[in-house]
Structure 1
Amino acid sequence: MLAVLALLAACALPRVGPNKREIFAGSVQREGDAFVVSVNDRVTRATAVTPALGFSRSFVSAGLLTSDAIRPGDVLGLTIWENVDDGLLANQGTNATVLDEVQVDSAGYIFVPYAGRLRASGRTPDELRETITQRLQDQTPDPQVQVRRVAGDGSTVSLAGSVGAPGVYPIERPTRTLSAMLSRAGGLTIRPGVAQVTVNRGDQRGKIWYQDLYDNPSLDIALRSGDRILVEEDTRAFTALGATSQQARVPFETQQLSALEAIAQVGGLISTSSDPTGVFIFRNEPAEIANQVLGRDDLQGAQRMVYVLNLTEPNGMFVARDFVVRDDDTLYVTEAPYAQWTKTISLIAGSITPVASVQSLAGG
């Protein structure tokens, strides 16, 4: 037994990581390189930062797009009737002129004889008809004009990512808004609670939580031709280590994740070995938040912060429920002191048993 105790004294017992004493020894207060901070209500408020997602004013203020708006590249068909037998455009003996293929150029314009160069992009066929009529009525009596789209997809958007049917869809009367278009594409194939929707419009980009489309109607923006919509799962995750039921990199299951929810997400603490007074969150904290937490104003750059949660305190569970876990945080739970004693006793008992067995055989 003395030999076993000497062996245990000479080498460290197996364990899941550092204990509380070793973590506190690495604090700035003890000439380490990390700030160790006990979490309270003030710290919780100062660190409660969540990703700010939303659309800019230009996205939100855009009006609904008419479903049959003309766009560059469309091919139009024009028919012009003149109230004379020998008109400006019609051949002799007829009073109708048909222009079968009038393509809208890249700048959004078309050319009509005697009416000149006209802007067609963004207008409906009826609006363009009125413009052509006004241009011709001073040159031929009572002109009648018909405008129709011969070819071209009109206004379209593309959807990709975690939707039922990715593809290119026209902006039609029932699908002028973001939520309606997502429904048209078969809805989401991932859980709504972790879905993010990104809209790229030219050189602008906006991202929102899918759930916010229904909680905040102003975010259900009107779509524009050429919008590119991407639906993807939230990529944030935290790492769980130590005396928890699971040690892994764990994705967020909600928009905002508390320390208590993070512990529950990995199966909770191990009742036979975890120390509920030693729950730590390791994080690289921006200087502005670190200064606020520590009551300073001289820190610059990201700071190594270690937040300590004691679940046995009277309000410990409430504090853990309110403390916000952020992307790339490390959740570490220390082992209870008696866990090391249990390992020591197991090793001693395991060493004595073979000796006892030998003595029994010799006695036999």
Structure 2
Amino acid sequence: MGGRQVDKEGTQSTFHLYNHKVQGGQTMLIRTTVAVTCLATLLAACAPGPWLDKARLQDDLDARPTTEVYPVQQITADVIMQQVRKVAVEQASSLPSDMTKWDYKIGTDDILGVTVWDHPELSSTSPTSVPESVVGAPPLPTSNIVPADSNGHRVGSDGAIFFPTLGRVKVEGMSIETVREKFVKLLGKNIRDPQVDVRVLAYRSQRVQMTGEVKNPGTMSVTDVPLTLVDAIARAGGETTNADLSRLHLTRDGKTMTIDAQSILEHGRMKENVLLKAGDVVNVPDRSDARVFVLGEVTKPQTVQIARAGLTLADALASVNSIDVRAADPRQIYVIRGAAENLQKPTVYRLDMTQIDALLLQTQFALQPLDVVYVGTSSAVRFNRVLEQITPSLATLFYTKALVFPGNY
């Protein structure tokens, strides 16, 4: 009896001792885990490399800048056709481009030459040819003729010129032919069947400014010869090597329009070759904005310059060595557009490269300056990256437990 009681007491003592060790081990594990966590946090605060102290920043990382939802248009053949039609409509400019309708209007500071047949005392110039209305008539006597004004008649600020026997004659805003007819009518009161010729000796009233990436920027006079956009570029010596003719800026009456002058030269779209008028400012920009950004799961994210002939989605992807086949989701090829127009309402397109026609569509989808091409990440890769982030922490806990309970491993 006494022996059984001793064995029982011994068993209870052993059980209590074992329980005490287990509890002690658990306590040690908790303490060690807390210590390791505190140490990791302390080391994170002192970690080397780029780091920003956010203690003085009032920032909510979970806050969204806007709740706006943007619709996504899948890139299809219909979308590309709409894109082509839109470009065609934009290039069919409402600005005049028909040179046959051009008629120079006389303005202030222009110098006019008026010749009256057989009346040298009234003529301000001695013409070198006979007016069309008197072809076949005897040649004008040119000897001993002194013009009334060797520099012609200047159009004053009142829009008129002074002419002998007539005084101030209003000519501003009239065409050359209209002024000639006016002089015929006025001189016809004193001269029988007057033969009159009117010319502009100096064009000073109307000017066009040429600025930007041209070889000889400056001021150009508008004359009786129509001045088109291409003419102005040519007169300025042509564009420089850094010029972006696809986004030429024309400012008229306080409004700035973008014109694709490159399409005139390469595709003969003459509706873009608008006629310039007085006060126009033509600016040829450089190619600093002629670029797109290719980001996301691509082999080599970078900025891609838009060539003079343009840039397609296929060109952009090929420039970065295509998408990353290990991480990219080929169904998520996004094009975000709108940085140059409206940052608040971007247009989003998506290409599904798993479809057979996508190989052709991406070669026809034209990119615009400052477009962003973003390649999304596949779901499996996102999951693996989460595991990659938490694996070091799990390994730390495993080794900590191994140190506390070395006999269990």
Q: TM-score, length-normalised on structure 2?
A: 0.53
Which amino acid is 1:217 matched to? Answer: M
Which amino acid is 1:108 matched to? Answer: G
Aligned partners of 1:42 and 1:144: how far apart in 2? 64
Partner of 1:138: 189
Structure-2 change in CA distance of 1:272 and 1:167 (3 Å): same
Partner of 1:239: 293
- Larger-Rg structure: 2
Aligned partners of 1:248 and 1:99: how far apart in 2? 67
1:318 is the counterpart of 2:371: no
Match of 2:283, SS state, is strand
Aligned partners of 2:92 and 2:83: how far apart in 1? 24
Structure 2: any 5+ residue segments left out of the alignment?
1-32, 38-66, 123-143, 400-409
1:59 is the counterpart of 2:112: no
Which amino acid is 2:90 matched to? Answer: L
Instruction: From 362, 374, 379, give the equivalent of 1:332.
Output: 374
The Cα shift of 1:109 comes to 2.5
The Cα shift of 1:79 comes to 7.0
Partner of 2:283: 230
The answer to whether the 8 A contact 2:213-2:243 is kept is no
The Cα shift of 1:233 comes to 4.7
Larger RCO: 1 or 2 (CA < 8 Å, sep 6+): 1
Structure-2 change in CA distance of 1:145 and 1:282 (3 Å): closer
Partner of 1:72: 108
Which amino acid is 2:315 matched to? Answer: E
Aligned partners of 1:139 and 1:32: how far apart in 2? 78
Aligned partners of 1:127 and 1:32: how far apart in 2? 60
Partner of 1:197: 248
Partner of 2:170: 118
The Cα shift of 1:229 comes to 1.9
Aligned partners of 2:120 and 2:359: how far apart in 1? 89
Structure-2 change in CA distance of 1:311 and 1:110 (3 Å): same
- Per mean C-alpha deviation after superposition, the further-off stretch among 163-172 and 252-261 is 252-261
1:3-45 deviations in whole A, cap 9, x for unaligned? 9xxx9xxxxxxxxxxxxxxxxxxxxxxx995656765555666
Match of 2:161, SS state, is strand
1:324-347 deviations in whole A, cap 9, x for unaligned? 555654322245646986995xx9
Partner of 1:259: 313
The Cα shift of 1:162 comes to 1.7
Aligned partners of 2:154 and 2:362: how far apart in 1? 64
Match of 2:295, SS state, is strand
Match of 2:90, SS state, is coil
1:28-74 deviations in whole A, cap 9, x for unaligned? xxx9956567655556667778565346545234646568x743112
Which amino acid is 1:317 matched to? Answer: L
Aligned partners of 1:217 and 1:138: how far apart in 2? 47
Aligned partners of 1:223 and 1:306: how far apart in 2? 36
Aligned partners of 1:265 and 1:231: how far apart in 2? 27
Aligned partners of 1:306 and 1:195: how far apart in 2? 23
Structure-2 change in CA distance of 1:50 and 1:264 (3 Å): farther
Which amino acid is 1:119 matched to? Answer: V
The answer to whether the 8 A contact 2:204-2:221 is kept is yes
Match of 1:313, SS state, is coil
Partner of 2:269: 216
Match of 1:53, SS state, is helix
Aligned partners of 1:97 and 1:118: how far apart in 2? 21
1:184-209 deviations in whole A, cap 9, x for unaligned? 21112247875233333445655421
Which amino acid is 2:208 matched to? Answer: V
Structure-2 change in CA distance of 1:320 and 1:110 (3 Å): same
1:162 is the counterpart of 2:208: no
Aligned partners of 1:138 and 1:104: how far apart in 2? 23
The Cα shift of 1:210 comes to 1.1
1:213-256 deviations in whole A, cap 9, x for unaligned? 24223433333344322222574654322222443454544676
Match of 1:60, SS state, is coil
Partner of 1:276: 330
The answer to whether the 8 A contact 1:199-1:206 is kept is yes
Higher strand share: 1
Structure-2 change in CA distance of 1:200 and 1:79 (3 Å): same
Match of 2:334, SS state, is strand
Name the count of aligned residue pairs. 301
Match of 2:275, SS state, is coil
Structure-2 change in CA distance of 1:145 and 1:208 (3 Å): same
Identical residues among aligned pairs (%): 21
Match of 1:332, SS state, is strand
Structure-2 change in CA distance of 1:140 and 1:303 (3 Å): closer
The Cα shift of 1:166 comes to 0.8
Which amino acid is 2:313 matched to? Answer: A
Aligned partners of 2:180 and 2:337: how far apart in 1? 63
Structure-2 change in CA distance of 1:34 and 1:216 (3 Å): closer
Partner of 2:148: 98
